[in-house]
């Protein structure tokens, strides 16, 4: 397994992401692997992460199980890019903007295949 049950992901003081396995060996984590470790996008992610203040008032700890919580940083605002989320979900590039492109730039124009919109 790429990630063992007791493996940990850490961020170094210089911002590098590292994996520490059960034996204490430190490994770098590639971009592809990092993308696999991100939480799955959900419909409520457009709302953004809860602020640390509101979590504290409710007695909750950020769980990092949503994309906004994963990327949230204290004192910083954050908003998900819809193109990033669509790509994470496996949609083709520009899938969410293609209906608004001109006919000549439309990447999904009819190619005569069964999957083409008619």
pLDDT of residue 74: 54
Lookup result for tokens 């419909």: 43
Report domain extents, the chain: 1-37, 39-97
Q: What's the CA gap between 97 and 46, in Å, rounded?
A: 17
Mean pLDDT (whole number) for 27-42:
76
Percent of the chain scored above 70 by pLDDT? 69
Tell me if residue 17 falls in helix, strand or coil.
Answer: strand
CA atoms within 13 A of residue 113's CA, in its CB half-sphere? 5
pLDDT of residue 58: 76
Give whole-number Cα distances, 28 to 15, 19, 116, in Å.
Answer: 12, 6, 41
């Amino acid at each position: 397994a790429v990630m063992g049950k007791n493996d940990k992901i850490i961020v170094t003081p210089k911002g590098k992401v590292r994996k520490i396995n059960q034996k204490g060996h430190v490994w770098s984590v590639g971009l592809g692997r990092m993308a696999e470790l991100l939480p799955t996008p959900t419909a409520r992610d457009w709302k953004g992460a809860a602020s640390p203040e509101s979590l504290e008032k409710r007695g909750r700890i950020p769980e990092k199980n949503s994309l906004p919580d994963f990327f949230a940083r204290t004192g910083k605002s954050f908003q998900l890019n819809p193109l990033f989320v669509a790509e994470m979900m496996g949609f083709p590039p520009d899938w969410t903007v293609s209906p608004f492109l001109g006919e000549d730039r439309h990447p999904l124009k009819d190619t005569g295949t069964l999957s083409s919109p008619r």
